[in-house]
Amino acid sequence: MFRGFFVKTISFVGYTVQYGCIAHCAFEYIGEFVSCSGPSMEPTITNHDVVFSERVSCHLWDIVIAKSPFDPKMNICKRVIGLEGDKVCTSGPSDVFKPHTYVPRGHVWLEGDNLRNSTDSRSYGPIPYALIRGRVCLKLWPPHSFGILAESPNDGRIL
């Protein structure tokens, strides 16, 4: 009796470890589910939206999840406005003068869709590619807005 219980327990632990390893690899190398908070990406992503972020690609105008340059324990959700070598506008939407800068090699320029209420590369400068965790490719929650994300409402930021 004890032997049968022991064999079933070891078998269960083996399957649990196996599926745990598969889940870890999937979330580490393929993508992850992210719950977003804060107003910086409104109206594209609002507070408490759940999105799927994949780790394979990142292009201009994509929305990405990145490590915060100020707090590595915190993730940020922003749109890629400029890639290395691009000339980007660094001013706010109501600024009279429109200063610009070039994105250095190995970096990207990130901005929130809600320019009036976003702490982004206009505050902390370009961030290294290494801080990008993944590209948001699908909005999962709430159900009525399920699908691919909308285009940026802030065109014309690259000069």
Helix (H) or strand (E) holding 20: helix 2-25
Contacts of 128 (CB under 8 A, 6+ apart): 106, 107
pTM summary value: 0.74
* Residue among 11, 37, 40, 118 flagged as catalytic: 40
Which of these, 99, 96, 77, lies nearest to 87 by C-alpha position? 99
Contact between 113 and 153 (Cβ < 8 Å): yes
At residue 7, does pLDDT exceed 90? no
Contact between 115 and 92 (Cβ < 8 Å): yes
Q: Is 40 a known active-site residue?
A: yes
* Residue among 8, 37, 57, 78 flagged as catalytic: 78
* Confidence band for 47, pLDDT divided at 50, 70 and 90: confident
Handedness of CA 77, 80, 84, 86 (dihedral sign): negative
Q: Is 98 a known active-site residue?
A: no
Domains of the chain: 32-157 (2.10.109.10)
Mean pLDDT of 22-34: 81
The mean pLDDT value of the chain amounts to 83
Q: What is the pLDDT of residues 55-109, one digit of tens each?
A: 777 777 888 999 988 888 888 999 998 899 988 887 766 666 778 889 999 999 9
